[in-house]
């Protein structure tokens, strides 16, 4: 099923791009001149058919799927309900509300392509959770591309894996537990331990520019004994 989800994301992105190309050619009255135009139309029909088939398969398996930022895709649909001529003009001008909506949709689908494997894993994982509240929160976060509130159970490996995947696609869960990456190792802390870690990281961030400058100086001159002590 993971491969079907990845395939669906690929098809949705291709349809978005090809629809714009077809509308542009129509708007510029170049459809009859372009030898590939009929192929484009046939491909769009094939895309619609395969998307419908994959969606039906997901539904039959009770799998709920949303592309990342699905709500924004829905919100911009009405803006694109204009003539091909208007779309072509917007694309050529590269300005205006219509162009911004077109651009936004293309960027959303590009992001979905970049994260398609992780998004497919998240979709299957969250649909397998028995906790309806967790499922609803995660799917809602995907639809809106917003942070998701999850109460982590650190003894639950599936939950930890889910949160790791959410981090990878940019949805940073808010929780009592916080995730840290230390020497390429992932650790989870909470309470006073998390507070102390935040303080250490803040101090390192404060010192980093000075350390970088000292290191750069070290490459071009010999430090005095006092300077070496300061650097150490």
Per-residue pLDDT of 81-107, as tens digits, reads 999 999 999 999 989 999 999 999 999
Cα separation, 119 vs 51, whole angstroms: 17
How many Cβ atoms from other residues are within 10 Å of residue 99's Cβ?
16
Query: Do 170 and 188 share a structural domain?
Result: no
What does the chain come to in residues?
232
Query: Do 92 and 32 share a structural domain?
Result: yes
Per residue in 114-164, pLDDT (tens digit) is 999 999 999 999 999 888 888 888 999 999 988 777 666 667 788 878 888
How many Cβ atoms from other residues are within 10 Å of residue 101's Cβ?
20
Confidence (pLDDT) at 8: 97
- When pLDDT is averaged across residues 210-229 and rounded to a whole number, the result is 53
Cα separation, 82 vs 88, whole angstroms: 10
Boundary-marking domain end, from 175, 193, 222: 175
- Which residue carries 């390429």 as its tokens? 184
Query: Do 137 and 74 share a structural domain?
Result: yes
User: Could you give the number of structural domains in the chain?
Assistant: 2
Percent of the chain with pLDDT over 90: 47
Q: Confirm whether pTM is higher than 0.85.
A: no
Query: Do 109 and 211 share a structural domain?
Result: no
- When pLDDT is averaged across residues 53-62 and rounded to a whole number, the result is 96
Confidence (pLDDT) at 71: 94
**Distance set, CA 23 to CA 4, 39, 76, 89 (Å):** 28, 14, 16, 11
Residue 50 has pLDDT above 60, yes or no: yes
Boundary-marking domain end, from 160, 175, 190: 175
Residue 49 has pLDDT above 60, yes or no: yes
Cα separation, 36 vs 56, whole angstroms: 30
């Amino acid at each position: 099923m993971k491969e079907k989800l990845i395939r669906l994301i690929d098809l949705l992105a291709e349809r978005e791009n090809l629809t714009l190309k077809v509308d542009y050619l129509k708007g510029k009255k170049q459809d009859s001149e372009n030898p590939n135009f009929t192929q484009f139309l046939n491909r769009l029909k094939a895309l619609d058919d395969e998307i419908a088939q994959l969606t039906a398969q997901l539904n039959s398996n009770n799998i709920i799927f949303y592309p990342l930022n699905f709500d924004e895709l829905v919100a911009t649909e009405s803006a694109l309900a204009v003539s091909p001529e208007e779309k072509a003009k917007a694309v050529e001008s590269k300005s205006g509300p219509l162009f911004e909506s077109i651009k936004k949709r293309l960027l959303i689908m590009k992001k979905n392509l970049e994260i398609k494997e992780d998004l497919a894993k998240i979709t299957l994982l969250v649909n397998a959770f028995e906790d309806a509240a967790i499922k609803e929160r995660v799917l809602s976060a995907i639809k809106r591309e917003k942070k998701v509130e999850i109460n982590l159970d650190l003894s639950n490996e599936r939950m930890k894996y889910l949160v790791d995947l959410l981090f990878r696609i940019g949805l940073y869960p808010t929780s009592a537990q916080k995730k840290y990456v230390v020497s390429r190792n992932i650790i989870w802390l909470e309470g006073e331990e998390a507070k102390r870690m935040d303080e250490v990281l803040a101090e390192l961030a404060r010192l980093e520019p000075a350390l970088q400058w000292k290191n750069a100086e070290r490459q071009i001159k010999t430090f005095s004994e006092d300077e070496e002590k300061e650097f150490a």
